[in-house]
Amino acid sequence: MTTTSTAYSAARTTARLDALVASVRGAVGRGLPPDLTAHLVGESLAPYLGAADLLTEEQQESDPTCYRQHLLHAERDGSFSIVALVWLPGQETSVHDHISWCTTGVHVGEERERRYRLVPAGENTAARLVATEDVVNPQGAVCGFAPPGDIHRVWNAGTDLAISLHIYGADISRVGSSVRRVYELPADR
């Protein structure tokens, strides 16, 4: 299983990040179903991706042993969190799903993603994961999803640093992770 280096201290903010938080707060505050909320949050996130003044230098720091997660904001009422994931070439997640809706956007570089469908155990077969889609997410790409059907693996297949912003419908500072379950089942690589 891939480990994550996590920074959960109070993050210094930027004016642009404050504006993103306000925009996400408005989208989440509409109280819509999770899949629609993820879509609206994606519309809020897209204009900020690639902006040089969105993150501080500290929020862009990597870890040589595993991808690094920087908590950028956790809403006081627990309704959403914003994190920056910083990936060096070759770093990846395990195959996992999530505790809540999630919206992601690539801020710097490019990420790869493989999405899966869980095939339950049958009378004569073991449960397994089947790859359903391979996605290349370049800088500026946004996607949103809500459980169930959110099983995937993400990695940096490039030769440069990649940074993505992830907005979750949960307080990551309280729950510790957006991952609900890591899948150790046979999976298409």
CATH number at 22 reads 2.60.120.10
In a domain, 188, yes or no: no
Instruction: Please tell me the total count of domains within the chain.
Output: 1
In a domain, 189, yes or no: no
In a domain, 96, yes or no: yes
pLDDT at 2: 47
- Judged on CB neighbours under 10 Å (0-12, 13-18, 19+), 11 is buried
pLDDT at 86: 97
Residue 127 phi/psi, 5-degree rounding, is: -60, 150
Instruction: Decide: 54 and 42 in contact? Cβ < 8 Å.
Output: no
Query: CA-CA distance, 162 to 89, in Å (whole number)?
Result: 8
Token pair belonging to 151: 């099983």
Token pair belonging to 184: 């150790």
User: Hey, which residues does 13 pair with through a beta bridge?
Assistant: none
In a domain, 129, yes or no: yes
pLDDT at 173: 79
Give me the domain span that covers residue 175. 5-182
Place of tokens 């992770």: 177
What pTM, to 2 d.p., does this model score?
Answer: 0.87
Torsion over CA: 28, 176, 16, 85 (sign): negative
Give the Å distances, CA to CA, from 129 to 58, 98, 137, 177: 37, 16, 22, 22
In a domain, 187, yes or no: no
pLDDT at 121: 83
SS3 87: strand
pLDDT in tens, the chain (189 residues): 345 544 444 457 899 999 999 999 999 999 999 999 999 999 999 999 999 999 999 999 999 999 999 999 999 999 999 999 999 999 999 888 887 899 999 999 999 999 998 888 888 888 888 899 999 999 999 998 888 778 889 999 999 999 999 999 999 877 666 666 777 765 655
In a domain, 167, yes or no: yes
In a domain, 47, yes or no: yes
